[in-house]
Structure 1
């Protein structure tokens, strides 16, 4: 268990260091690719239909947000 935790920490640190070394252009391209993937997924998977219970939960959660 401890080795797995150390491995995961090491992988996150290496990912972070790689991210720091990337240029701004590379990050912009990655964002564009991710936005395109989201657009494709939205086309293939239609929006789920909300039931009355889902709407009630969302309404209760929205009341917790501060106003404009």
Structure 2
């Protein structure tokens, strides 16, 4: 268990060192590629449309989250169109 933890810490530190060594232009290109991938995924997988029952279920599940986690949600539901 300790060996696995040390391995994961080592991998994370090496990843950070690689990021520090990158040029700014490389980071900008990577961001552009990721944004393009997100745009393609949004076109191919449209947002699911929830009916009133699905919204109620999702709202009930969100209420079960701890308060500290509920306050830091990044994704929220859009207002109901109906």
Q: How large is the Cα RMSD of the aligned pairs?
A: 2.4
Return the TM-score normalized by structure 2.
Answer: 0.63
Quote the residue 2:26 is aligned against.
Answer: 26
If asked which structure has higher relative contact order (CA below 8 Å, sep 6+), I would say 2
Shift of 1:2: 1.2
Q: Would you say how many aligned residue pairs link Structure 1 and Structure 2?
A: 61
Q: Which runs of 4+ in 1 moved over 6 A?
A: none
User: Which consecutive unaligned segments of at least 5 residues does structure 1 have?
Assistant: 58-63
Tell me the TM-score normalised to structure 1 length. Answer: 0.74
